[in-house]
Amino acid sequence: MCGIVGVVGGRDATPIIFDALRRLEYRGYDSAGIATLVDGRIERRRAAGKLDNLASVLARAPLAGVTGIGHTRWATHGAPTENNAHPHGTPRVSVVHNGIIENFEALRRELEQAGYVFVTETDSETVAQLVDFHLARGLSPREAAFATLRRLEGAYALAMIFAGHDDLLIGARHGAPLVVGYGENEMFLGSDSLALAPLTRRIAYLDDGDWVMVTPEGAEFFDASGERVERAVRTTALIAGSVGKDGYRHYMDKELHEHPVVIGQTLQRLIDPATRRVVLPDLPFDLASLPRAAVTACGSAFYAGLIGRYWLEAVAGLPVDIDVASELRYRDPPLTPGGLGLLISQSGETADTLAALRGMRARGQHILSVLNVEQSTMARESDVVLGTVAGPEISVASTKAFTAQLSVLACLTIAIGRARGTLSLTQEQELVAELLDLPSRANEVFDQAPAIRAMAAVVAEARDVLYLGRGSAFPVAMEGALKLKEVSYIHAEAYAAGEMKHGPISLIDSTVPIVATLPSGRLFEKTLSNLQEARARGGRLLVFTDTQGAPRLRDLAEIVVALPTVSEFTAPVLQTIPVQMLAYEVALLKGTDVDQPRNLAKSVTVE
């Protein structure tokens, strides 16, 4: 999950780029660098390790210039060294790259035969050398970039600067996100809008295959064939983590928009970017020898635990029992000695969950708690705490804490899977890569706000709403139904889609909207059949799916929200965000007290 920043304008570029790279640290990285144009020539500074190392380099050798590019690298080809750090380039061009160039070996051989000497182990250097090859033959930067892009295979987001062209950035996107930011007499490139906050709120997204020429006056977009195209400029929400509302109408709205940062920050704490492995704190018990896990929580945290159960059983092969904490404390179940007691709480003070913790400890369980407040009572009474980096959550209805909890549970699942031998090193790294892609994908969910508002207009007129899902999408449906109840006061219930025929189908008529969470994957066809049954009985279908599943639903559902397509493993994290957004939009239409719904408290510290 590399990060890209570019700036062209009238201010010193290096401080702007460095601060933006700080905002990209959540992605995970192992080296960083900046290149700028100084009196028409390219200069760069790079360092292995954290940005503090790059800061030290810059303190010793400051970097001037008003046009530049910066990068945080996650090593793929070549070790995480200063020499392999981006930007890469020649005296004519400097390039930063996210992704993998799949045909770099063939391109490299061609360039070596033409006399080019490579100095890094990376695939990314091939891009810079190929651009230089075309520049050396008299092509303009625009022509050289386009000629290079036509040869590249794989996934990439690119940003380039050119010697002698102090007012030009060129960017390109194919399979990896890139955005253009609009300032006052300055322009920006970034991996996503998070990279550019708070530099600008005016953002244009490159479509897949696009490339762009950026000058201080604006941006000129082209498609993969080189034809000029227009890309809409949008006003994005501010990203912030303070206690204030920061311009948002409600805390809930602000906290919804913090999902991408929260996911990234939480993952950063648990993942080593150098090895692409999950790294947990020292544990006072052996993950490999755990016979069973007992998961317990309340409210949204319980639904996070349900998703965790799907992961732990399917990925790690660990048997899991799960109970609502208020039931577990009185059910008095037999627990396997030496098992794992896994407790989840935002506040760490939830009374029922704390009581369940104490009961589990009395029955010989190892206690691991997933908490957002690491100085809480539950933290002090646990064997180990895995913290969520969600920051203050002021709205009573929990939002960003939920995806932070899922981020922790996903990492824990991977760690247990490796310990138990159900995951190979390669499989672990693949799952880690999927997780680290989530912050960018989560940021794209907000592009679907208009369709979600259209859904809200339907739901706001209803007295009852059914939510449906299968597999790990079922707890997502449960979370959606809970949020709707909490903030809009509309009655909503979630069911496993296959259970609809066993009773709930009798409720379906034209007055009961059916909200379905239906990502593509193994259970898509089965759930689609359930929705067709609902439609046949007059049900109004409102469906959250992904770009892969959307074409199958266009003629069936009244409204379809197509999210980015991600893996089955990470889909529940992404699907959670829009169901929470739907509840918020309905609450706005109903005129309720969004941040402080009636009868509810943020932390339930009584039974």
**Residue among 245, 485, 590, 602 flagged as catalytic:** 602
The two three-digit tokens of residue 25, written as one number: 């640290």
Task: Give the helix ranges, DSSP H, for 220-371.
Answer: 251-256, 259-270, 299-314, 325-331, 351-362
Residues 343/296, Cβ–Cβ less than 8 Å: yes
Task: Return the closest-CA partner of residue 250 out of 576, 597, 600.
Answer: 597
485 part of the active site: no
Distance CA 80, CA 600 (A): 49
Task: Return the closest-CA partner of residue 545 out of 526, 524, 569.
Answer: 524
The sign of the dihedral angle between the CA atoms of 594, 590, 445, 249 is: negative
List b or e across 543-576, with b for residues whose CB sees 16 or more CB atoms inside 10 angstroms: bbbbeebbebbeeebebbbbbbbbbbbbbbbbbb
Task: Return the closest-CA partner of residue 69 out of 235, 185, 183, 191.
Answer: 191
Task: Return the closest-CA partner of residue 243 out of 389, 376, 373, 393.
Answer: 393
**Residue among 2, 254, 400, 483 flagged as catalytic:** 2
Amino acid residing at 31: S
Task: Return the closest-CA partner of residue 602 out of 265, 252, 239, 325.
Answer: 252
Distance CA 147, CA 107 (A): 13
Residues 296/305, Cβ–Cβ less than 8 Å: yes
Which residues, in sequence order, are bridge partners of residue 35? 44, 69
Give CA angle at 154 (151, 155), nearest 5°.
115
Distance CA 483, CA 579 (A): 8
602 part of the active site: yes
- Using alpha carbons, list the distances in angstroms from residue 184 to 54, 181, 201, 324, 328: 28, 10, 12, 53, 58
Distance CA 145, CA 171 (A): 9
What residue has token string 């755990």?
A: 290
State the catalytic residues: 2, 602
